[in-house]
Amino acid sequence: MPMLETRETIRPSDFAPFLRVHSVSKGFDERKVLHRLDLAVQEGEMVAIVGKSGCGKSTLLRLLAGLEKPNEGTIAVDSNPVNGRNRSARLMFQDSALLPWNTVLENVALAAPDRTQRRELALEALRQVGLVHRADDWPATLSGGQRQRVALARALASEARLILFDEPLGALDALTRLEMQNLIEKFWRQRGFTAILVTHDVEEAVALADRVLLMQHGEFGHESLVPLPRPRDRASTAFAALKTEILSRVLAEDR
**Mean pLDDT over all residues of the chain?**
88
pTM for the whole thing? 0.88
Helix (H) or strand (E) holding 245: helix 237-251
- Rounded CA separation 162/9 (Å): 24
Average pLDDT (230-241) is 95
Task: Give SS3 for 214.
Answer: strand
Which of the two residues, 9 and 213, has the higher pLDDT score? 213
Write down the pLDDT at residue 170. Answer: 82
Q: Does residue 10 surpass a pLDDT of 70?
A: no
98-113 mean pLDDT: 93
Angle in degrees, CA 22, 247, 183, rounded to 5? 75
Q: What are phi and psi of 5, to 5 degrees?
A: -95, 135
Per residue in 77-95, pLDDT (tens digit) is 998 999 888 989 999 988 8
Question: What is the rounded CA–CA span in Å between residue 210 and residue 116?
Answer: 36
Interatomic CA distance for residues 198 and 167, integer angstroms: 6
Angstrom CA distances, 230 to 54, 120, 204, 239, stand at 31, 31, 13, 11
d(CA 74, CA 25): 9
DSSP letter assigned to residue 227: -
Residue type, 55: C
Domains belonging to the chain, first-starting first, are 1-43+51-80+199-255 (3.40.50.300)
- Predicted confidence at residue 246, as pLDDT, reads 95
CA atoms within 13 A on the CB side of 140: 3
Q: Which residue has the higher pLDDT, 171 or 74?
A: 74
- What is the rounded average pLDDT of the residues 242-250? 94
* Confidence (pLDDT) at 254: 54
